[in-house]
Amino acid sequence: MKRLRLGAVGYLNARPLVWGLDDIAHFDVRFDIPSRCAELLHGREIDVGLIPSIEYLRGDRYRIVPDLAIASHGPVASVLLFTRKPLADVRSIAMDTSSRTSVALARVLCARRFRVTPIFEPQGPDLESMLTRADAALLIGDNALFARTELRQGPTGENDDPSRARGIETIDLGQEWGGMTGLPFVWAFWAGRADALVSGDVDALMRARDEGVSRSEEIARLYCPDSVDRQRLAARYLRDNIKYVMGPQEYAALELFYRYAFEVGELAVKPSVPAFY
């Protein structure tokens, strides 16, 4: 049987989607940051990638694995804008280069919700350095999830205002998208070329998701073995913030995001209707 090269995201939120896939004989799984997963898929170095949703329209005529996604309904907790200034005064944003979907969403929200026109500066995910160079910083994934918690920790414990700590305001982009549209947001999904998957492979990915979603506590313990506090946060995040379905609402949200991304120049061509395996 032909070996199937899967490119998965290495962040916590992807772990339920890959539960047990290493045990499937013809699956080869590698882990990277989201933008790298997309690069590997575009370059045909993997067969199927867990790619940022914006990347679906930047490569070949991909198909999406049905009913599977990394999505959120309201706060996502791991795609965050950090700023020491009121949003109206933000003139520059350091953008985490790890995921292009989050960058595209930030641009959409700046244009349509925040009504600001900052300079966007690509930078590696180092919050202190980012806020030294720019008025605000976009962080994604584990870096964002754990950075906000660490900011809140001080000599008196938890900060009274969960959106602000040590003079830094935290803005959740998933929550802002939901407030603007009333829809969930789709961050990533499995995608590949039309001949990459057969029905049995699709079934295996769905079974992995179903089993992984039921094991949020176990995944959190394995992912954060050295910190009970992080384990609690990780389990709560997987259980409450991240959803792993692509239903009618997610599909509508995806189409709307693509339209808005095109309007702000994040897509070079008008969006096409997504195709599924």
139 and 153 inside one domain: yes
Question: Which H or E run contains 82?
Answer: strand 79-83
pLDDT per residue as tens digits for the range 145-181: 999 877 765 544 444 444 455 689 999 999 999 999 9
With a pLDDT cut of 70, the percent of the chain lying above it is 94
Distance CA 52, CA 48 (A): 12
Distance CA 276, CA 63 (A): 5
Count of H-run helices and E-run strands, the chain: 9, 12
Q: Is the model's pLDDT at 57 over the cut of 70? A: yes
pLDDT per residue as tens digits for the range 6-28: 999 999 999 999 999 988 989 99
Does residue 251 lie in a domain region? Answer: yes
174 and 147 inside one domain: yes
- pLDDT, average across residues 230-258: 96
User: How many beta carbons lie within 10 A of that of residue 21, not counting itself?
Assistant: 18
97 and 174 inside one domain: yes
Nearest one of 261, 123, 109, 238 to 174, comparing CA atoms: 109
122 and 256 inside one domain: no
Range of the domain at 257: 4-71+185-233+242-263
174 and 189 inside one domain: no
Does residue 276 lie in a domain region? Answer: no
The pLDDT confidence band at residue 198, using thresholds 50, 70 and 90, is: very high
Calculate ∠ Cα 22-70-178, nearest 5°: 170
Does residue 270 lie in a domain region? Answer: no
Nearest one of 129, 118, 126 to 97, comparing CA atoms: 126
189 and 209 inside one domain: yes
174 and 105 inside one domain: yes
Calculate ∠ Cα 146-148-153, nearest 5°: 95
189 and 66 inside one domain: yes
Cβ-Cβ contacts under 8 Å for 167 (sequence gap 6 or more): 84
Does residue 269 lie in a domain region? Answer: no
92 and 23 inside one domain: no
Does residue 122 lie in a domain region? Answer: yes
CATH code for the domain of 32: 3.40.190.10
Q: Which of 181, 203, 225 is a domain's end point?
A: 181
Q: Which of 181, 204, 221 is a domain's end point?
A: 181
137 and 92 inside one domain: yes
- pLDDT, average across residues 33-53: 95
Cβ-Cβ contacts under 8 Å for 107 (sequence gap 6 or more): 120, 261, 264, 265, 266
58 and 116 inside one domain: no
Question: Which H or E run contains 173?
Answer: helix 173-181
Amino acid at position 260, single letter:
Y
Does residue 150 lie in a domain region? Answer: yes
Does residue 103 lie in a domain region? Answer: yes
Domain count, the chain: 2
How is residue 220 written in tokens?
């959190």
- Distances in whole angstroms, Cα of residue 257 to Cα of each of 153, 162, 214, 245, 263: 35, 27, 29, 17, 10
Does residue 9 lie in a domain region? Answer: yes
Report whether 128 contacts 139 (CB < 8 A).
no
134 and 88 inside one domain: yes
Amino acid at position 121, single letter:
E
The pLDDT confidence band at residue 99, using thresholds 50, 70 and 90, is: confident
- pLDDT, average across residues 58-80: 94
Nearest one of 70, 29, 33, 32 to 47, comparing CA atoms: 29
Amino acid 157: pLDDT:
44
